[in-house]
Structure 1
C-alpha cells in the first residue's frame, strides 16, 4: 500500500466519524492569515490537544476575536491533509463558553456605551488637584477600605474620609453599588473612589453591569475607579472620570503628599512674590512715565496760555482803552465836519434837480393831455345827449309806484295809488285820482 493510499484510507475513516461538538481552550492562535484570512490554533484540555482550522468566512461570521485562553464550543469534523498526512479539526461554527462568553458580552456593551458617548474624554470631568473630602465606595468588611485609609492618612492626614458600604461581588452587587454612589454623592465630597481588590474576571463582573456604568457616568461628583489589578479593565473604569489600576493608586491620585502641598504652596508664594515685585516695578515705571508726561503737558499748556495772555496784552484796546475811544471820537468829529460842509451843497443840488424835473413835467403834461381833451369833450356831449335827465328837462317825468318800480302804463295803477315823480329838476309825490287808457 502506498502512502497516498494509506492517507486516503485514514481520511475516509476519519470522515466516517461525522460532525461533532468539541469544547476546549484556544492555544497558539495564529491568524487571520494575511493572504487567505484563515485562522490556525490548537484546542486543548487538561490531557489532550488537536489542531484546528477556521476558514475565513467562518471566522468573520463568529462575531468575536479569537485569542489564547478563550473557552470555545466548536462544531466541525476531522480531516486528514493529503500532502502532509496531518490530522486537523475543521470548524464549521464557533461559540464562546464560560469566561469567553462573558468577555464577548462585556465587549458588546462597551461598544454600545462608546457609541453613546459615555467614554468620550471630553465628557469626563477634571478631578480637583487638592481634595479635602473623599468618599470611598467599597465593602467595609474587606481590607481595601483599610488600605485606602492608610494611603490617604500617609499622604495627607487632613483629608476627610467618608465611607459608603456596598457589596462588590455577586449578582446583587451592582444595585448596592448604585445606592452607595447615591449616598456618597449626597454628602457632596470633592471626589468619589469606587474601589475593589483583585479577583477573577467572574468576580469583577459586577463592575461590567450596564446600570452601574450609567450611574457612574451620570454621578454629579467626579468618580475615580481602582478596581482589581493592573491588567483588569471594567466598564466602570471606561466610563469613570479617571481610572487607576489599584485602590491604593486611586487614593494616591486624589491626595497629593502633604510635603508636596507645602512645596507647592511655597512655590506659589515665591511666584506670587516675584509677580508682585515685577508688577510693582512696572506700575512704578508707568507712574513715573505718566508723571513726566503730565508735567510736560502742564508746562506746555501753561506756556501756551502765557503766550496767549502776552499777545492779548499787546493789543491797543486792552493796553489803553481810552486811546481807542479818543480815536473814535476824533473820527466822529471829522465825519461831522465833513457832513456839515457837504450837506448844504448836496441839498442845493437836489433842490435844483427837483425843480428842473417839475418844470419838465408841467410842460410835458400839457402836451401829453392835449390830444385827449377833444375826445373827452365829444364823449361828454354824447353822454349828455343820451342822458335821461336831458329828456326830463324837456318836461317829461319818470313815474314809480310805491314799490319803486317804473310805471309804463295806466293799467299798472289804481285810483288812490301814491306815485313818485322824477322831474328834470327835483322830484314830487302824487296820488292817482283818475285813470284813462288813452
Structure 2
C-alpha cells in the first residue's frame, strides 16, 4: 500500500516468548534471590490428595482487591507449615485468614510466577485478629451498640427459645438434653435455626438465621447462639463487625454460649448475656424459670395464708354473732316467759267467781259488761249487782260522783 514502508522481517528486532520468560525469570531471581516474609490474606485454599496445597493470596484496601497471586505449599513443606500453624493456633489455614508467610519466589516459562511457602508465623495471625477485634469494639462503641442488647429484659417465664447452632454440633445436643431433662420438669419449646458456626461463612450464616427468626410468626422469648468450643482462630468469626452489629440491633434478648474458656469475643460483649458453655446456658434458663416458679409458689402461699386467716376471722365473727343472737333470743324468751307467767298468775285472780267467793259484789250494765266506775252512768240505766248468793237487778236513781258524795254525806250528818 502507498505511504506504508515495507519493513522486512530481517530488519525488525524481536524476541521469542521463551526468551522473554527467561528474562523475567532472571529478573525475578535477581530481585528476590532468597526467601522473604510476605503479608497477605488467603483468598482460597485447596488441599490435594497427593500432598500439595494450592492457595490464592490477595491484598485489599478500601477500594477492594488490589493484588492477587497464586501460591503453593509443596508436600515436603506441608507438615512444617500447616502443622506449626495448627499447633500454635489450634486451627487449620482457611480462607479469610491474614498470614505472615515466608515464600521463595520463582518464575517458570510454563507456569509463570510461583510463591512457594516454606514457613509461617502463627503469632502474626493471632496478633492481627486482636487488632481487628479492638477496631471492631471501637466502632461498635462509637455507634452506641455495645450496651443496646443489655437494655432488653428476658421474660419471667422463658418458653419459646430460638437456637442458632449447627444441627450436628455436640454443644447443641448437650444443651437440648440438659434443658429438656431438667429436674423440675419445666417444659420449653426449642426451634433450631441451623447455621455455620466457624469459618469465613459463619457471620453471614448466623445473620441469615437471625433474619429467619424475625420472619417467623413466633414471638420468641430469647435467641440462643450455641457452639461447643474451639480454638481461638475457629472462634474469630464471632469478632466480625457485621455479626456483632446484627446481634446488638436484634429486638429480642440474645444469649451466647460459644464454649471458650480464656477470652470472650465481640459477639459476647454485645449480647444480652453470655456464658461459657451451652450447658451453663441451659442452667441459666432453668434457674430463671425456677426463680419465677418460686415467686408464683410464694405468692400462692401468701394468698392461701391470707385467705385462711380471713376465713378464720370470719368464722370467729360468725361464732360471736351466733352467741350474741342466741343470747338475745334467750333473753327475749325469758322475758316473754316471765310476762306470760305474770299474766297466767293474774288471770285467775281476775276471775269473777274468785271475786264473788271473796264476798266482792260485781256490778254490770244492762248488757252484762262489768262496771268499775259510776262515771258515765245516767239515771234510769239498768244495772245488775252480782252477789255470792244471788243477783240484784236495779235501776239508777241518781249518780253521785266524788264531791257530790262528800256533800251528801255532810247534809245527812
**TM-score, with structure 1 as normaliser:** 0.40
Larger helix percent: 1
**TM-score, with structure 2 as normaliser:** 0.42
Higher relative contact order (CA 8 A, sep 6+): 2
